Chains A and B, each alone.
Chain A
Amino acid sequence: MSRPVFVSVRLEMTSSGTRRPLEVTWEDGRVFEITSSSYLGRRAARSAGSGECWLCRIEGQEVPLYFSSLTGRWWMDGKGDPEPPPRPQGYRRVKDRDYKPPER
Protein backbone atom coordinates (compact mmCIF):
# COMPACT_ATOMS: atom_id res chain seq x y z
CA MET A 1 0.00 0.00 0.00
CA SER A 2 1.09 3.52 -0.46
CA ARG A 3 -0.13 6.92 0.53
CA PRO A 4 0.40 10.32 -1.05
CA VAL A 5 3.08 12.45 0.62
CA PHE A 6 2.88 16.11 -0.28
CA VAL A 7 6.33 17.61 -0.70
CA SER A 8 7.81 21.01 -1.35
CA VAL A 9 9.90 21.15 -4.48
CA ARG A 10 12.72 23.42 -5.61
CA LEU A 11 12.12 23.90 -9.30
CA GLU A 12 14.11 25.31 -12.19
CA MET A 13 12.08 27.07 -14.87
CA THR A 14 14.23 26.94 -17.98
CA SER A 15 14.28 29.54 -20.73
CA SER A 16 12.72 27.02 -23.11
CA GLY A 17 9.65 26.85 -20.87
CA THR A 18 10.24 23.45 -19.26
CA ARG A 19 10.28 22.71 -15.55
CA ARG A 20 13.02 20.71 -13.88
CA PRO A 21 12.68 19.60 -10.25
CA LEU A 22 16.00 19.97 -8.36
CA GLU A 23 15.24 18.86 -4.82
CA VAL A 24 12.30 17.79 -2.69
CA THR A 25 11.66 18.33 1.01
CA TRP A 26 9.96 15.33 2.60
CA GLU A 27 7.18 15.76 5.18
CA ASP A 28 9.64 15.15 8.06
CA GLY A 29 11.96 17.91 6.81
CA ARG A 30 14.61 15.76 5.13
CA VAL A 31 15.86 17.24 1.86
CA PHE A 32 16.62 14.98 -1.09
CA GLU A 33 18.57 16.06 -4.13
CA ILE A 34 17.26 14.98 -7.54
CA THR A 35 20.27 13.96 -9.62
CA SER A 36 18.36 13.55 -12.87
CA SER A 37 14.74 13.59 -13.98
CA SER A 38 12.67 12.86 -17.05
CA TYR A 39 9.19 14.18 -17.84
CA LEU A 40 6.64 11.44 -18.48
CA GLY A 41 3.50 13.48 -19.17
CA ARG A 42 0.29 12.69 -17.34
CA ARG A 43 0.23 9.63 -15.13
CA ALA A 44 -2.11 8.17 -12.52
CA ALA A 45 -0.24 7.97 -9.22
CA ARG A 46 0.14 4.68 -7.36
CA SER A 47 -0.94 6.36 -4.12
CA ALA A 48 -3.76 8.72 -5.09
CA GLY A 49 -4.78 11.15 -7.80
CA SER A 50 -3.20 11.80 -11.15
CA GLY A 51 -1.10 14.60 -12.57
CA GLU A 52 1.96 15.53 -14.54
CA CYS A 53 4.75 13.14 -13.67
CA TRP A 54 8.54 13.36 -13.53
CA LEU A 55 10.59 10.21 -13.02
CA CYS A 56 13.34 11.39 -10.67
CA ARG A 57 16.58 9.74 -9.62
CA ILE A 58 16.99 10.20 -5.86
CA GLU A 59 19.81 8.43 -4.01
CA GLY A 60 20.20 6.00 -6.91
CA GLN A 61 16.50 5.09 -7.09
CA GLU A 62 13.99 6.04 -9.74
CA VAL A 63 10.87 7.47 -8.12
CA PRO A 64 7.93 9.36 -9.62
CA LEU A 65 7.07 12.92 -8.60
CA TYR A 66 3.62 14.26 -9.41
CA PHE A 67 2.15 17.72 -9.88
CA SER A 68 -1.55 18.57 -10.10
CA SER A 69 -2.46 21.76 -11.94
CA LEU A 70 -5.86 21.65 -10.22
CA THR A 71 -4.53 21.92 -6.67
CA GLY A 72 -1.05 23.23 -7.48
CA ARG A 73 0.48 20.65 -5.15
CA TRP A 74 3.38 18.25 -5.66
CA TRP A 75 3.38 14.77 -4.19
CA MET A 76 5.18 11.42 -4.17
CA ASP A 77 4.18 7.84 -3.36
CA GLY A 78 5.08 7.22 0.28
CA LYS A 79 5.15 3.96 2.19
CA GLY A 80 2.35 3.14 4.60
CA ASP A 81 -1.39 2.74 4.57
CA PRO A 82 -3.66 5.33 3.01
CA GLU A 83 -6.00 7.22 5.32
CA PRO A 84 -8.90 4.99 6.39
CA PRO A 85 -12.28 5.53 4.76
CA PRO A 86 -14.68 7.80 6.64
CA ARG A 87 -17.30 6.20 8.85
CA PRO A 88 -20.86 6.16 7.63
CA GLN A 89 -23.02 8.82 9.21
CA GLY A 90 -26.60 8.48 10.28
CA TYR A 91 -29.13 10.30 8.22
CA ARG A 92 -32.47 11.60 9.36
CA ARG A 93 -34.94 12.66 6.76
CA VAL A 94 -35.94 16.28 7.31
CA LYS A 95 -39.56 16.80 6.45
CA ASP A 96 -40.75 20.12 5.15
CA ARG A 97 -43.55 20.22 7.70
CA ASP A 98 -40.89 20.37 10.44
CA TYR A 99 -39.62 23.61 9.00
CA LYS A 100 -40.70 26.80 10.70
CA PRO A 101 -40.17 30.01 8.74
CA PRO A 102 -38.22 32.68 10.59
CA GLU A 103 -40.05 35.37 12.56
CA ARG A 104 -40.56 38.53 10.57
Chain B
Amino acid sequence: MHRTILHVDQNAFYASVEMLARPALRTVPCAVAGDPVNRHGIVLAKNQLAKKAGVQTGEAIWEAKQKCPGLILVPPDYPRYIHYSRLARELYRQYTDRVEPFGIDECWLDLTGCPKDDGFAVAEEIRERMKTEFGLTVSIGVSWNKIYAKLGSDLKKPDATTLITPANYRELVFPQPAKSLLYVGSSTNRKLRRMGVRTIGQLAGLEPSFLRSIFGVVGLSLHAFAAGLDQTPVARYGREVPIKSVGNSITARHDLYTESDIKAVTYMLTESVASRLRDAGMAARTVQIYMRDYQLYNFERQAPLPQPTQLCSEIAPAALRLIMDNFRPGQWIRSLGVRASRLIPESRLNQETYLPDEKQREAVWRLEDTIDTLRSRYGGLAVRRGISMVDRSLTEHDIKSENVIHPVGFFGP
Protein backbone atom coordinates (compact mmCIF):
# COMPACT_ATOMS: atom_id res chain seq x y z
CA MET B 1 0.00 0.00 0.00
CA HIS B 2 1.27 3.46 -0.83
CA ARG B 3 1.56 5.66 2.24
CA THR B 4 1.82 9.43 2.57
CA ILE B 5 4.24 10.37 5.34
CA LEU B 6 5.42 13.80 6.36
CA HIS B 7 8.40 14.61 8.53
CA VAL B 8 8.18 18.08 10.04
CA ASP B 9 11.37 19.57 11.45
CA GLN B 10 11.24 22.91 13.23
CA ASN B 11 14.25 24.90 12.05
CA ALA B 12 16.78 25.89 14.72
CA PHE B 13 13.97 25.38 17.18
CA TYR B 14 15.39 26.78 20.44
CA ALA B 15 16.98 29.75 18.68
CA SER B 16 13.79 30.46 16.70
CA VAL B 17 11.65 30.49 19.82
CA GLU B 18 14.08 32.87 21.53
CA MET B 19 14.09 35.17 18.49
CA LEU B 20 10.31 35.11 18.45
CA ALA B 21 10.19 36.31 22.05
CA ARG B 22 12.97 38.90 21.51
CA PRO B 23 12.98 39.99 17.85
CA ALA B 24 16.13 42.07 18.44
CA LEU B 25 18.08 38.79 18.52
CA ARG B 26 17.34 38.36 14.80
CA THR B 27 19.78 41.16 13.98
CA VAL B 28 22.77 39.64 15.78
CA PRO B 29 24.44 36.22 15.72
CA CYS B 30 22.98 34.40 18.68
CA ALA B 31 23.03 30.92 20.14
CA VAL B 32 21.16 29.12 22.90
CA ALA B 33 23.76 27.58 25.17
CA GLY B 34 23.87 25.75 28.48
CA ASP B 35 25.36 27.20 31.64
CA PRO B 36 29.18 27.06 31.62
CA VAL B 37 29.30 27.27 35.44
CA ASN B 38 27.41 23.98 35.64
CA ARG B 39 29.61 22.75 32.79
CA HIS B 40 26.75 22.43 30.35
CA GLY B 41 28.44 25.07 28.22
CA ILE B 42 27.73 23.86 24.70
CA VAL B 43 25.80 25.42 21.84
CA LEU B 44 22.31 23.89 21.71
CA ALA B 45 20.98 25.90 18.76
CA LYS B 46 22.06 28.90 16.74
CA ASN B 47 20.47 31.37 14.34
CA GLN B 48 21.32 31.90 10.67
CA LEU B 49 23.83 34.70 11.35
CA ALA B 50 25.74 32.53 13.82
CA LYS B 51 25.60 29.64 11.38
CA LYS B 52 27.18 31.83 8.71
CA ALA B 53 30.03 32.59 11.11
CA GLY B 54 30.65 28.85 11.39
CA VAL B 55 29.12 28.17 14.79
CA GLN B 56 28.02 24.54 15.07
CA THR B 57 25.50 22.89 17.32
CA GLY B 58 27.19 20.85 20.01
CA GLU B 59 30.47 22.72 20.18
CA ALA B 60 31.79 24.30 23.36
CA ILE B 61 31.11 27.97 24.01
CA TRP B 62 34.78 28.92 23.87
CA GLU B 63 35.07 27.33 20.42
CA ALA B 64 32.00 29.22 19.20
CA LYS B 65 33.31 32.46 20.69
CA GLN B 66 36.60 32.03 18.86
CA LYS B 67 34.81 31.70 15.54
CA CYS B 68 32.34 34.46 16.25
CA PRO B 69 33.45 36.93 18.97
CA GLY B 70 30.20 38.91 18.79
CA LEU B 71 28.07 35.87 19.54
CA ILE B 72 25.18 36.53 21.92
CA LEU B 73 24.48 33.66 24.29
CA VAL B 74 20.98 33.01 25.57
CA PRO B 75 20.25 30.50 28.35
CA PRO B 76 17.73 27.80 27.42
CA ASP B 77 14.10 28.26 28.52
CA TYR B 78 12.75 24.71 28.39
CA PRO B 79 9.17 25.41 29.55
CA ARG B 80 8.81 27.81 26.62
CA TYR B 81 10.17 25.25 24.13
CA ILE B 82 7.91 22.52 25.48
CA HIS B 83 4.94 24.91 25.21
CA TYR B 84 5.60 25.62 21.54
CA SER B 85 6.38 21.97 20.83
CA ARG B 86 3.01 20.95 22.30
CA LEU B 87 1.14 23.61 20.32
CA ALA B 88 2.82 22.45 17.11
CA ARG B 89 1.80 18.84 17.77
CA GLU B 90 -1.78 19.95 18.36
CA LEU B 91 -1.69 21.65 14.97
CA TYR B 92 -0.42 18.46 13.31
CA ARG B 93 -3.16 16.47 15.00
CA GLN B 94 -5.75 18.48 13.10
CA TYR B 95 -4.63 16.56 10.01
CA THR B 96 -4.12 13.04 11.34
CA ASP B 97 -4.21 10.99 14.52
CA ARG B 98 -0.89 9.38 13.67
CA VAL B 99 1.61 11.94 14.93
CA GLU B 100 4.85 10.48 16.24
CA PRO B 101 7.24 12.90 17.94
CA PHE B 102 10.96 12.35 17.48
CA GLY B 103 12.52 14.65 20.00
CA ILE B 104 11.11 18.03 20.93
CA ASP B 105 11.14 19.63 17.48
CA GLU B 106 10.51 16.81 15.02
CA CYS B 107 7.39 14.79 14.18
CA TRP B 108 6.29 12.20 11.69
CA LEU B 109 2.74 12.46 10.34
CA ASP B 110 0.97 9.68 8.46
CA LEU B 111 -1.75 11.10 6.19
CA THR B 112 -2.73 7.78 4.60
CA GLY B 113 -6.51 7.47 4.58
CA CYS B 114 -7.07 10.94 6.04
CA PRO B 115 -9.57 13.41 4.51
CA LYS B 116 -6.68 15.54 3.29
CA ASP B 117 -4.11 13.11 1.97
CA ASP B 118 -2.29 15.15 -0.65
CA GLY B 119 1.08 15.21 1.08
CA PHE B 120 2.56 18.20 -0.69
CA ALA B 121 -0.55 20.38 -0.28
CA VAL B 122 -0.84 19.57 3.43
CA ALA B 123 2.89 20.21 3.91
CA GLU B 124 2.57 23.64 2.30
CA GLU B 125 -0.48 24.39 4.46
CA ILE B 126 1.32 23.35 7.68
CA ARG B 127 4.34 25.42 6.70
CA GLU B 128 2.18 28.48 6.09
CA ARG B 129 0.16 28.00 9.27
CA MET B 130 3.29 27.58 11.40
CA LYS B 131 4.47 30.94 10.11
CA THR B 132 1.23 32.88 10.60
CA GLU B 133 0.12 31.21 13.82
CA PHE B 134 3.41 30.73 15.66
CA GLY B 135 5.92 32.82 13.77
CA LEU B 136 8.18 29.76 13.41
CA THR B 137 9.51 28.11 10.28
CA VAL B 138 9.59 24.39 9.53
CA SER B 139 11.10 22.25 6.82
CA ILE B 140 9.02 19.29 5.71
CA GLY B 141 9.88 16.11 3.86
CA VAL B 142 7.09 14.23 2.10
CA SER B 143 7.54 10.63 1.04
CA TRP B 144 6.09 7.13 1.29
CA ASN B 145 8.24 6.00 4.22
CA LYS B 146 9.53 7.56 7.42
CA ILE B 147 13.20 7.37 6.49
CA TYR B 148 12.89 9.24 3.20
CA ALA B 149 10.52 11.75 4.77
CA LYS B 150 13.14 12.53 7.43
CA LEU B 151 15.84 12.76 4.80
CA GLY B 152 13.62 15.08 2.75
CA SER B 153 13.17 17.50 5.64
CA ASP B 154 16.98 17.79 5.86
CA LEU B 155 17.50 18.44 2.15
CA LYS B 156 16.10 21.97 1.98
CA LYS B 157 16.30 24.26 5.02
CA PRO B 158 14.86 26.48 6.37
CA ASP B 159 11.18 26.94 5.57
CA ALA B 160 10.86 24.53 2.63
CA THR B 161 9.07 21.40 1.49
CA THR B 162 10.79 18.51 -0.27
CA LEU B 163 8.75 15.89 -2.08
CA ILE B 164 10.38 12.48 -2.57
CA THR B 165 8.36 10.24 -4.88
CA PRO B 166 9.03 6.86 -6.50
CA ALA B 167 9.70 8.86 -9.66
CA ASN B 168 12.44 11.12 -8.29
CA TYR B 169 14.01 9.31 -5.35
CA ARG B 170 16.89 7.98 -7.41
CA GLU B 171 17.98 11.51 -8.29
CA LEU B 172 17.24 13.03 -4.85
CA VAL B 173 18.11 10.38 -2.30
CA PHE B 174 20.71 8.14 -3.90
CA PRO B 175 23.47 10.75 -4.36
CA GLN B 176 23.25 11.76 -0.66
CA PRO B 177 26.10 10.63 1.61
CA ALA B 178 25.32 7.43 3.52
CA LYS B 179 25.89 9.33 6.76
CA SER B 180 22.70 11.35 6.29
CA LEU B 181 20.63 8.21 6.67
CA LEU B 182 19.00 7.65 10.05
CA TYR B 183 21.00 5.18 12.14
CA VAL B 184 24.19 5.56 10.15
CA GLY B 185 26.40 7.04 12.85
CA SER B 186 30.11 7.65 12.74
CA SER B 187 31.17 4.05 13.37
CA THR B 188 28.75 2.51 10.84
CA ASN B 189 29.84 5.16 8.37
CA ARG B 190 33.47 4.25 8.95
CA LYS B 191 32.74 0.59 8.23
CA LEU B 192 30.78 1.51 5.11
CA ARG B 193 33.58 3.71 3.81
CA ARG B 194 36.02 0.89 4.29
CA MET B 195 33.78 -1.14 1.97
CA GLY B 196 33.78 1.74 -0.51
CA VAL B 197 30.19 2.75 0.19
CA ARG B 198 29.83 6.52 0.26
CA THR B 199 26.29 7.22 -0.92
CA ILE B 200 22.83 5.95 -0.05
CA GLY B 201 22.49 4.66 -3.62
CA GLN B 202 25.56 2.45 -3.23
CA LEU B 203 24.19 1.15 0.08
CA ALA B 204 20.82 0.36 -1.52
CA GLY B 205 22.61 -1.51 -4.31
CA LEU B 206 24.27 -3.99 -1.95
CA GLU B 207 22.84 -7.43 -1.24
CA PRO B 208 20.87 -7.49 2.05
CA SER B 209 22.48 -10.84 2.96
CA PHE B 210 25.94 -9.30 2.50
CA LEU B 211 25.04 -6.38 4.79
CA ARG B 212 23.68 -8.84 7.31
CA SER B 213 26.98 -10.72 7.36
CA ILE B 214 28.73 -7.50 8.37
CA PHE B 215 26.26 -5.60 10.57
CA GLY B 216 23.98 -8.39 11.77
CA VAL B 217 20.24 -7.76 11.87
CA VAL B 218 20.87 -4.01 11.67
CA GLY B 219 22.32 -4.63 8.20
CA LEU B 220 18.89 -5.67 6.95
CA SER B 221 17.34 -2.50 8.37
CA LEU B 222 20.08 -0.40 6.80
CA HIS B 223 19.33 -1.88 3.40
CA ALA B 224 15.58 -1.33 3.83
CA PHE B 225 16.21 2.27 4.95
CA ALA B 226 18.45 3.04 2.00
CA ALA B 227 16.24 1.41 -0.64
CA GLY B 228 13.02 2.99 0.65
CA LEU B 229 11.53 -0.35 1.69
CA ASP B 230 11.05 0.59 5.34
CA GLN B 231 7.54 -0.26 6.57
CA THR B 232 7.73 1.09 10.14
CA PRO B 233 4.35 2.60 11.01
CA VAL B 234 3.88 6.10 12.43
CA ALA B 235 2.71 5.62 16.00
CA ARG B 236 -0.61 6.94 17.16
CA TYR B 237 -0.37 10.14 19.19
CA GLY B 238 -0.10 9.58 22.93
CA ARG B 239 0.61 5.86 22.67
CA GLU B 240 2.36 4.70 25.79
CA VAL B 241 5.61 2.95 25.12
CA PRO B 242 6.63 0.20 27.54
CA ILE B 243 9.67 1.21 29.57
CA LYS B 244 12.73 -0.94 29.24
CA SER B 245 15.04 0.88 31.60
CA VAL B 246 15.13 3.82 33.99
CA GLY B 247 18.23 5.95 34.23
CA ASN B 248 19.57 9.32 35.27
CA SER B 249 22.88 10.95 34.63
CA ILE B 250 24.53 14.23 35.45
CA THR B 251 27.56 16.25 34.51
CA ALA B 252 28.90 17.20 37.91
CA ARG B 253 29.62 20.79 38.84
CA HIS B 254 33.29 19.84 39.20
CA ASP B 255 35.22 16.68 38.47
CA LEU B 256 34.78 13.91 41.01
CA TYR B 257 37.86 12.23 42.36
CA THR B 258 37.20 11.42 46.00
CA GLU B 259 35.16 8.44 47.07
CA SER B 260 32.80 10.56 49.15
CA ASP B 261 31.97 12.83 46.19
CA ILE B 262 31.36 9.84 43.95
CA LYS B 263 29.24 8.21 46.62
CA ALA B 264 27.14 11.33 47.14
CA VAL B 265 26.42 11.74 43.44
CA THR B 266 25.72 8.03 42.97
CA TYR B 267 23.18 8.04 45.78
CA MET B 268 21.56 11.22 44.46
CA LEU B 269 21.11 9.65 41.01
CA THR B 270 19.99 6.29 42.36
CA GLU B 271 17.34 7.89 44.57
CA SER B 272 15.71 9.35 41.49
CA VAL B 273 16.04 6.07 39.58
CA ALA B 274 14.53 4.03 42.43
CA SER B 275 11.73 6.50 42.92
CA ARG B 276 10.87 6.46 39.22
CA LEU B 277 10.97 2.65 39.29
CA ARG B 278 8.41 2.64 42.09
CA ASP B 279 6.24 5.15 40.22
CA ALA B 280 6.31 2.91 37.15
CA GLY B 281 5.59 -0.18 39.24
CA MET B 282 8.75 -1.90 38.04
CA ALA B 283 11.66 -3.68 39.67
CA ALA B 284 15.14 -3.95 38.20
CA ARG B 285 17.34 -7.00 37.82
CA THR B 286 20.43 -5.26 36.45
CA VAL B 287 22.25 -2.08 37.31
CA GLN B 288 24.32 -0.16 34.75
CA ILE B 289 26.70 2.68 35.33
CA TYR B 290 28.01 5.22 32.90
CA MET B 291 31.17 7.22 33.48
CA ARG B 292 32.92 9.90 31.48
CA ASP B 293 36.24 11.24 32.65
CA TYR B 294 37.71 14.70 32.18
CA GLN B 295 39.28 13.70 28.88
CA LEU B 296 35.78 12.84 27.63
CA TYR B 297 36.61 9.15 27.51
CA ASN B 298 33.44 7.34 28.45
CA PHE B 299 32.44 3.80 29.18
CA GLU B 300 29.59 1.74 30.61
CA ARG B 301 29.56 -1.28 32.88
CA GLN B 302 26.73 -3.42 34.14
CA ALA B 303 26.15 -6.05 36.77
CA PRO B 304 23.22 -8.19 37.87
CA LEU B 305 21.53 -7.32 41.15
CA PRO B 306 21.36 -10.16 43.72
CA GLN B 307 17.56 -9.96 43.61
CA PRO B 308 15.01 -7.87 41.67
CA THR B 309 14.57 -4.61 43.50
CA GLN B 310 13.16 -1.11 43.43
CA LEU B 311 15.04 0.13 46.48
CA CYS B 312 17.70 2.80 46.43
CA SER B 313 19.44 1.14 49.35
CA GLU B 314 20.00 -1.98 47.23
CA ILE B 315 20.72 -0.40 43.83
CA ALA B 316 23.08 2.30 45.06
CA PRO B 317 25.66 0.03 46.76
CA ALA B 318 25.74 -2.19 43.65
CA ALA B 319 26.21 0.85 41.42
CA LEU B 320 28.88 2.26 43.69
CA ARG B 321 30.76 -1.03 43.71
CA LEU B 322 30.71 -1.06 39.90
CA ILE B 323 32.06 2.46 39.79
CA MET B 324 34.78 1.89 42.37
CA ASP B 325 35.88 -1.35 40.64
CA ASN B 326 36.35 0.55 37.41
CA PHE B 327 37.68 3.77 38.87
CA ARG B 328 41.41 4.19 38.63
CA PRO B 329 43.01 6.52 41.17
CA GLY B 330 44.06 9.67 39.42
CA GLN B 331 41.04 9.59 37.16
CA TRP B 332 38.65 12.54 37.36
CA ILE B 333 35.03 11.77 36.64
CA ARG B 334 33.15 14.44 34.71
CA SER B 335 29.75 12.80 34.28
CA LEU B 336 28.14 9.90 35.98
CA GLY B 337 24.99 7.93 35.22
CA VAL B 338 23.04 5.16 36.90
CA ARG B 339 20.49 3.05 35.10
CA ALA B 340 18.27 0.17 36.18
CA SER B 341 17.36 -2.31 33.47
CA ARG B 342 15.93 -5.76 32.73
CA LEU B 343 12.77 -4.65 34.44
CA ILE B 344 9.99 -6.87 35.71
CA PRO B 345 6.59 -5.73 36.99
CA GLU B 346 6.45 -5.37 40.77
CA SER B 347 3.58 -7.86 40.94
CA ARG B 348 6.14 -10.54 40.11
CA LEU B 349 8.50 -9.09 42.69
CA ASN B 350 6.22 -10.10 45.54
CA GLN B 351 5.98 -13.67 44.29
CA GLU B 352 9.66 -14.14 43.77
CA THR B 353 11.07 -13.16 47.10
CA TYR B 354 10.80 -15.63 49.95
CA LEU B 355 13.89 -14.42 51.65
CA PRO B 356 14.62 -14.33 55.36
CA ASP B 357 15.27 -10.59 55.36
CA GLU B 358 11.85 -9.93 53.80
CA LYS B 359 10.59 -8.06 56.83
CA GLN B 360 13.50 -5.70 56.79
CA ARG B 361 13.14 -5.06 53.06
CA GLU B 362 9.49 -4.27 53.62
CA ALA B 363 10.50 -1.69 56.22
CA VAL B 364 13.06 -0.09 53.90
CA TRP B 365 10.47 -0.01 51.13
CA ARG B 366 8.04 1.81 53.44
CA LEU B 367 10.77 4.26 54.44
CA GLU B 368 11.68 5.10 50.85
CA ASP B 369 8.03 5.34 49.89
CA THR B 370 7.44 7.79 52.74
CA ILE B 371 10.39 9.89 51.58
CA ASP B 372 8.87 9.91 48.07
CA THR B 373 5.64 11.27 49.51
CA LEU B 374 7.47 13.93 51.50
CA ARG B 375 9.42 14.98 48.43
CA SER B 376 6.38 15.14 46.19
CA ARG B 377 4.73 17.40 48.76
CA TYR B 378 7.62 19.62 49.82
CA GLY B 379 10.06 19.38 46.91
CA GLY B 380 12.91 17.06 46.02
CA LEU B 381 15.34 18.70 48.43
CA ALA B 382 13.07 18.46 51.48
CA VAL B 383 14.59 15.21 52.71
CA ARG B 384 18.22 14.48 51.98
CA ARG B 385 20.84 11.96 52.82
CA GLY B 386 23.67 12.92 55.12
CA ILE B 387 26.28 12.00 52.51
CA SER B 388 24.81 14.56 50.11
CA MET B 389 26.05 17.29 52.48
CA VAL B 390 29.76 16.68 51.77
CA ASP B 391 29.64 19.10 48.88
CA ARG B 392 26.33 20.79 48.34
CA SER B 393 27.30 22.23 44.96
CA LEU B 394 27.35 18.67 43.67
CA THR B 395 24.14 17.42 45.11
CA GLU B 396 21.74 20.36 45.15
CA HIS B 397 19.80 19.04 42.20
CA ASP B 398 16.27 17.79 42.17
CA ILE B 399 17.07 15.06 39.67
CA LYS B 400 13.66 13.47 39.52
CA SER B 401 11.62 16.58 38.80
CA GLU B 402 14.21 17.96 36.38
CA ASN B 403 14.06 14.70 34.47
CA VAL B 404 12.93 15.03 30.85
CA ILE B 405 12.59 11.94 28.69
CA HIS B 406 14.55 12.50 25.53
CA PRO B 407 13.66 11.03 22.15
CA VAL B 408 13.43 7.30 22.18
CA GLY B 409 15.07 5.25 19.46
CA PHE B 410 13.55 4.61 16.06
CA PHE B 411 12.94 0.95 16.93
CA GLY B 412 11.32 1.86 20.24
CA PRO B 413 13.11 2.42 23.54
Contacts and interface: CB of A to CB of B under 8 A. Distances in A.
Interface of A: 41-45, 47-50, 69-70, 82-89, 91, 93-94, 96, 99, 101-102, 104
B254 interface: yes
B171 interface: no
Contacts of B21: 48-49
B27 interface: yes
A91 B21 CA distance: 25
B65 A85 contact: no
B254 A101 contact: yes
B20 A82 contact: no
B27 A85 contact: yes
Contacts of B294: 96
Interface stretch (B67-75, B181-189, B345-353, B372-380): B67-75
Nearest to A45: B135
Contacts of B37: 94
A100 B65 CA distance: 26
A36 B25 CA distance: 35
- Please provide the 8 A-B residue pairs with the shortest distance between their CB atoms, ordered closest to farther: A44-B135, A42-B133, A85-B24, A93-B62, A85-B28, A70-B83, A99-B254, A50-B135
Interface string B1-36: 000000000000000000011111101101000001
25 contacts: A42-B134, A43-B132, A43-B133, A44-B20, A47-B23, A48-B20, A49-B20, A49-B21, A50-B134, A70-B83, A82-B24, A83-B22, A84-B24, A85-B24, A85-B30, A85-B72, A88-B70, A89-B73, A91-B73, A94-B36, A94-B37, A96-B254, A96-B255, A99-B255, A101-B258
A73 to B, nearest CB: 12
Contacts of B25: 85
Contacts of B136: 44, 50
Contacts, number: 73
Given A44-B134, A70-B79, A91 B20 contact: no
Contacts of A96: 254-255, 294, 332
Interface string B242-266: 0000000000001100100100000
A84 B133 CA distance: 25
A104 B80 CA distance: 40
A91 B24 contact: no
Contacts of A86: 72
A101 B260 CA distance: 12
Contacts of A82: 22-24
Contacts of B70: 88
B171 to A, nearest CB: 36
A44 B73 contact: no
B383 interface: no
B22 A50 contact: no
Nearest to B65: A91
A54 B364 CA distance: 57
B87 interface: yes
A70 B17 CA distance: 13
B170 interface: no
A43 B268 CA distance: 44
Contacts of B71: 88
B61 A104 contact: no
Nearest to B74: A86
B36 A50 contact: no
A84 B24 CA distance: 6
B36 A91 contact: yes
A85 B332 CA distance: 39
B131 interface: yes
A48 B134 CA distance: 10
B69 A44 contact: no
Nearest to A95: B294
Contacts of A102: 391, 393
Nearest to B134: A50
B217 interface: no
Given A49-B135, A102-B391, 5 more contacts: A45-B135, A47-B23, A86-B72, A101-B254, A101-B258
Contacts of A70: 79-80, 83
Contacts of A87: 72
Nearest to B332: A96
Interface in B166-185: none
Contacts of B393: 102
Contacts of B24: 82-85
A3 to B, nearest CB: 9
Contact of A104 (B133, B135, B332, B390): B390
A44 B255 contact: no
B91 to A, nearest CB: 8
Nearest to B64: A91
Interface string B388-400: 0011010000000
